[in-house]
C-alpha cells in the first residue's frame, strides 16, 4: 500500500524554494483580483442584457412597419444603435481593463517585495 502524499496549504513548498509566502497576503490578493473580475463580468452581463432586450424588440418593431422605407428606417436605426453601443462598450471594457492593469503590480506583489 502506498502512502498518500500530503499537500501543504500554508506555503512550505514555496518557502523551501526561497519564495516568501503569506496566506493572508494571498487571500487579500485573490479578493482584490476577484472583485475586479466581478466588475468586468457585471459590465459584460449588463451590456448583454441590454442588447438582448433590443434584439428581442426588433421583430415587433418590424411587424409594425407599413412600408419598405419604414422597415429600412427601423433596420438602420437598430444597426446604428448597435454599432454605437458596441463601440461604447469596448471603450468601457478598455477602461476597466486599464484600471485592472494599473493595479496588477500591487495586487500580485509578493510579500517582502
Task: Give the separation between CA 50 and CA 53, rounded to whole angstroms.
Answer: 5
Task: Give the separation between CA 43 and CA 54, rounded to whole angstroms.
Answer: 17
pLDDT of residue 69: 97
pLDDT of residue 103: 77
> Quick check: 74 and 62 in contact, CB under 8 A?
yes
pTM equals 0.64
Cell digits of residue 79: 444597426
Q: Which residues of the chain have pLDDT under 50?
A: none
**What ranges do the domains of the chain cover?**
13-107
CA 32 to chain centre: 14
pLDDT of residue 29: 66
Amino acid at each position: 500500500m502506498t502512502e498518500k502524499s500530503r499537500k501543504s496549504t500554508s506555503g512550505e513548498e514555496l518557502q523551501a524554494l526561497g519564495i516568501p509566502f503569506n496566506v493572508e497576503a494571498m487571500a487579500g490578493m485573490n479578493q482584490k483580483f476577484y472583485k475586479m473580475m466581478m466588475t468586468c463580468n457585471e459590465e459584460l452581463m449588463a451590456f448583454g442584457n441590454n442588447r438582448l432586450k433590443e434584439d428581442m424588440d426588433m421583430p415587433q418593431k418590424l411587424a409594425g412597419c407599413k412600408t419598405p422605407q419604414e422597415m429600412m428606417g427601423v433596420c438602420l436605426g437598430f444597426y446604428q444603435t448597435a454599432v454605437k453601443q458596441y463601440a461604447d462598450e469596448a471603450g468601457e471594457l478598455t477602461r476597466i481593463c486599464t484600471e485592472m492593469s494599473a493595479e496588477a503590480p500591487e495586487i500580485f506583489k509578493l510579500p517582502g517585495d
